[in-house]
Amino acid sequence: MWKRDETVRPASGQPAMPQPQAPAAPGVQGSRPEGTNRMERDIVNIGKSVVIKGELNGSEDLTIEGQVEGTIQLKDHVLTIGPNGRIKAQVFAKAVIVLGEVHGNVTASEKVDIRDNGSVDGDIVSPRMAIAEGAHFRGSVDMQRKAAPAAQPAKPAVAQSPAPAPAAQAAAGPRAGA
Amino acid sequence: MGLLDRLSSRRSETAAVPVVSRATNDGPVFSTKALPRFLAALTTREVPVLLDVGPVVGTNVSFFGEHLGCKILVLDLFADWDRHVREGKVEAFPAFLNERLTQAGGSIDGVLCWDLLDYLDRPSATALAAELTRVLREGGALLGFFSTAKPDAAHYTKYVIVDDTSLRYRSYAAARGRQGALPNRDIQRLFGDLRVADSYLLKNNIREMLFRKPA
């Protein structure tokens, strides 16, 4: 009725049973291929209880749930002001997502996104803006747009032909899609 | 290239009638006759500076900022008026306006006044009209809406630009409703230093008026 498990058989010449592995050290993904963690984008979180006064610089994406007073510089990275974030600062970042409160000017090289219940009191400079229906905003918006330039003609293949002057390019045909 | 040429317009065929009737929570869409005139008045500037006394509307910011290259100042005076009404400090609103509008005289190319004047008492309306006239540059334009209907439930209206000839009217709660229909002559007295460039009475009982500051 009960059959002996023939795989479990201590015998000479037989290969030893595999020993149980020691538990991996914390933070070490033993079975994952090396370098996987490096593929994940680094995002730093500033928690609710944290208060920072002064200049905050960084070279990675940042989420703030605490309070910051002063200046925030995150060139080429995304700043997220979480729902509990309270910022009284001048903000400079690639993109800024606001779910909390910002009192201060915001400058973004790509986009500012004020989500529902987000609030900004200050001036915004950004080429793109998104403002949700339930968002609050007071201040100025400068999207740094100018009159759309006309489509530029393709450069001639022959090096001897000089490139047309910028003024002539601007006077070229109608803008595509107009 | 003209300013209006930059717009991707979906023009309605008839004016002063709802273009599309949407669900109540979205708000109905109505044609606007004065908005295209207002937009045309902004064409003389490379980067027009626009003053919006209403609450921020994301699509309006994109419309004026992204497509038309305007710099927009959002004041949301409706919220300030609402707060004064709730706190029983209506008489302090004229003085508040003097401090709130810090823009230099003649620095604004276009003013979106919407229907704020319908909600104000006479002293506040006079103060607001004076401040808006002051900040408007010579040749600048002011767009105002005035209801000719009897006041109903207390609510404000967000005017969402659908395109250059259509507005969606989206209601939201107000502490106090409109104060009644302003007669034409009272409106013209309020903006005595501006000339009435256009005036349209729409079938939805809104009078759209475009004012210009003489050069």
Q: For the segment B152-174, what is each residue's pLDDT rounded down to a tens digit?
A: 789 999 999 999 999 999 999 99
What is the rounded distance in angstroms from the CA atom of residue A114 to the CA atom of residue B58? 9
CB neighbour burial string for B126-148, b if at least 16 within 10 angstroms, e if fewer: bbbbbbbbbbbbeebbbbbbbbe
- Chain A contact for B58 (CB, 8 A cutoff): yes
Domains in chain A, number = 1
Three-class DSSP labels, chain A:
CCCCCCCCCCCCCCCCCCCCCCCCCCCCCCCCCCCHHHHCCCEEEECCCCEEEEEEECCCEEEECCEEEEEEEEEEEEEEECCCCEEEEEEEEEEEEECCEEECCEEEEEEEEECCCCEEECCEECCCEEECCCCEEEEEEECCCCCCCCCCCCCCCCCCCCCCCHHHHHCCCCCCCC
The verdict on residue B88 lying in a domain is yes
Residue A166: inside a domain: no
What pLDDT, on the 0 to 100 scale, is given for residue B4? 54
Q: What is the DSSP letter of B120?
A: S
**B7 domain-assigned:** no
Per the domain annotation, does B207 fall within a domain?
A: yes
**Residue A2: predicted pLDDT:** 53
pLDDT classification of B181: cutoffs 50, 70, 90: confident
- The distance of A49 to chain B (nearest Cα, Å) reads 31
Out of B5, B56, B66, name the one closest to residue A145 (CB): B66
Interface test with B, best of A142, A144, A146, A175 (most B CBs within 10 A): A142
Query: What confidence score (pLDDT) does residue A40 get?
Result: 54
- Using 50, 70 and 90 to split pLDDT, how confident is the model at B68? confident
pLDDT at B6: 53
pLDDT tens digits, residue range A21-46? 444 444 333 444 444 444 455 678 99
Does residue A152 carry a pLDDT above 80?
Answer: no
Report yes or no on B121 lying in a domain. Answer: yes
* B4 inside domain: no
- Measured in angstroms, the CA of A41 and the nearest CA of chain B are apart by 30
**How many angstroms away from the CA of B117 is the closest CA of chain A?**
20
A130: nearest CA in chain B?
A: B58
The answer to whether residue A117 sits within a structural domain is yes
Q: Given pLDDT bands bounded at 50, 70 and 90, which one contains residue B46? A: confident
Instruction: Name every chain A residue with its beta carbon within 8 A of the beta carbon of B76.
Output: 138
Q: Find, among B64, B34, B61, the residue nearest to B47 by Cα.
A: B64
Q: What is the pLDDT of residue B150?
A: 84
- Domain containing residue B125: 19-212
For chain B, the C-alpha Rg in angstroms (whole number) is 16
Residue A69 is predicted with a pLDDT of 97
Q: CA A19, A20, A25 angle in degrees (round to 5)? A: 130
- For residue A170, what pLDDT band results from cuts at 50, 70 and 90? very low
Q: Which residue of A has its CA nearest to B43?
A: A147
Contacts of residue B73 in chain A, CB cutoff 8 Å?
139-140
Place of tokens 């290969």: A15
Residue B82 placed within a domain: yes
CATH number at residue B40: 3.40.50.150
Q: Do residue A141 and residue B69 have CB atoms under 8 angstroms apart?
A: no
Q: Is A132 in contact with B58 (CB distance < 8 Å)?
A: yes
Is A91 within a domain?
yes
**CB distance B65–A141 less than 8 Å?**
yes
- Looking at the domain assignment, is residue A98 inside a domain? yes
Domain count, chain B: 1
Query: And the tokens for B39?
Result: 């937009």
More confident position, B17 or B208: B208
Containing structural domain, residue A76: 42-134
| Alpha carbon distance B115, A108 (integer Å) | 33
For residues B16, B18, B19, B21, the Cα torsion angle rounded to the nearest 10 degrees is: 170
Higher pLDDT, B120 or B2: B120
Question: Is residue A20 assigned to a domain?
Answer: no
